[in-house]
Amino acid sequence: MNSQLGQRNTATDRFVQSAAAAWVLVIHGGAPRVAIAYSVEERFRRHLAIAEALRIGGEVLASGGRSLDVVQAAVRVLEDAPEFNAGCGAALTCEGHAELDASIMDGANRRVGAVAAVRRIKNPVDLARAVMERSAHVFLVGTGAEQFAVEQGIPLIDPGYFITERQVRQRLGVIESASSGGTSAHEMGGTVGAVALDIRGSLAAATSTGGIPNKRFGRVGDSPVIGAGTYAENDVCAVSATGWGEYFIRNAVAYDMCARIKYLNESLDSAASHVIEQVSRMGGYGGLIAVDRYGRIAMPYSTPTMAHGYMVEGGPAVVLVGNP
Ligand code: ASP
């Protein structure tokens, strides 16, 4: 189990923040089951994208902006970066399409918005926010979500925009490996998410993904499921998860983590480690990022690495894109 929160202690691989922070932004870029050998250039581009998301989000938080706007903006930057499995660069279904899932939650009032299996929305996190604020519902899927987007002035784009060479190779690799009895369907990672605390003490979380490579079309993972891949509640914590979504749904990971803090009085760190251990015990894998109202951060993962970055008021942007 890897867990990192503030100042690094090599014995436990933990980071402990000494004082309450006025604002905090934490971002993840996925936790693949196996270490992926990125080229130096790919690592650099992944690093730059997370750094850019932190820069944009940090500026908004420093000038008194809302955590809800910040998590949306940070996720949008990573949806636009083809190095991640969200928006452009999303994993492909067994039929070769990108089907995108996203969600957002405002911890101040527990308002939520989510979309799943959309094929023509450039930034699914923006549509999730529109569902939250401009519809009578909390979760829209497929063509129904896309029709709602058009009504809201969010354009539909050519599905070819999402398809990258890397994901085409990944999909073909998955098929080869599956036919030879291997299981590389979950090796990609690259889901993106953000959690933030603003100076008013409000928490928010957002997550966006193309899901797992070679998934059945119509398959929905944990990322758009509130309480599984995303959750935020002021006075408790904000969570965004990544990993094998079926296990995160079965364990209601994001909500279970909040419930442990609320009802069992567990610390953020222990609740985070507990839910990731539970996923591992059942045969799943993954990680999460979380922040509480004091600005404490938890980032446990059961995988070799989890790409992530964070920025705390008064400190530098820290980015770790993981394995070489
Ligand atoms: N959790 C995502 C899903 O199952 C995939 C990932 O985070 O890598 O759709």
Q: What confidence tens digit (pLDDT) does each residue in 47-90 have?
A: 999 999 999 999 999 999 999 999 999 999 999 999 999 999 99
pLDDT higher than 80, residue 134: yes
Model pLDDT for residues 266-282, shown as the tens digit of each residue: 999 999 999 999 999 99
CA 207 / ligand 1 centre spacing (Å): 10
Which ligand 1 atom sits closest to the C-alpha of 211? 9
CA distances from 147 to 60, 72, 121 (A): 31, 21, 11
Task: Choose which residue among 34, 223, 225 to substitute to test ligand 1 binding: the one with the highest number of ligand atoms within 8 A of its C-beta.
Answer: 223
Atom 9, ligand 1: residue with shortest CA distance: 211
Q: Would you state the pLDDT for residue 322?
A: 73
The mean of the pLDDT values for the chain is 90
**C-alpha dist (Å) from residue 239 to 26, 110, 129, 264, 310:** 10, 13, 17, 17, 14
pLDDT at 113: 98
What does each C-alpha distance from 82 to 75, 96, 164, 222, 237 come to in angstroms? 13, 16, 7, 21, 30
Q: Which atom of ligand 1 is nearest to the CA of 229?
A: 1
Separation CA 246–CA 238 (nearest Å): 20
- 158-to-27, 44, 102, 124, 208 alpha-carbon distances in Å: 28, 28, 19, 14, 19
Tell me which residue has its CA closest to atom 7 in ligand 1: 242
Q: For 162-204, what is each residue's pLDDT tens digit? A: 999 888 887 777 654 444 443 355 557 899 999 999 999 999 9
Contact indicator for 10, 2 with CB cutoff of 8 Å: no
Residue 69: C-alpha distances to residues 49, 102, 109, 123, 255 (Å): 18, 15, 14, 14, 22
Answer whether residue 2 shows pLDDT above 80: no
Q: Using a 6 Å CB cutoff, which residues line ligand 1?
A: 30, 189, 191, 209, 211-212, 221-223, 242-245
- The backbone torsions φ and ψ at residue 27, rounded to the nearest 5 degrees and listed phi first, read -130, 145
- To which residue do tokens 């996925």 refer? 30
Residue nearest to ligand 1 atom 4, measured at CA? 245
Six token digits for residue 24? 């905090």
Closest residue by Cα to residue 287 from 28, 15, 25? 28
259 has a pLDDT exceeding 80: yes
The atom number, within ligand 1, closest to the CA of 245 reads 4
Of 7, 47, 43, 9, nearest in space to 27 by CA? 47
Which of 203, 183, 213 has the alpha carbon at shortest distance from 71? 203
pLDDT of 211 over the 50 cut: yes
Report pLDDT digits (tens) over 280-317.
999 999 999 999 999 999 999 999 999 999 999 999 99
Mean pLDDT of 105-134: 98
pTM: 0.92
Residue 11 class from Cβ within 10 Å (0-12 exposed, 13-18 middle, 19+ buried)? exposed
C-alpha 221/C-alpha 232 separation (Å) is 18
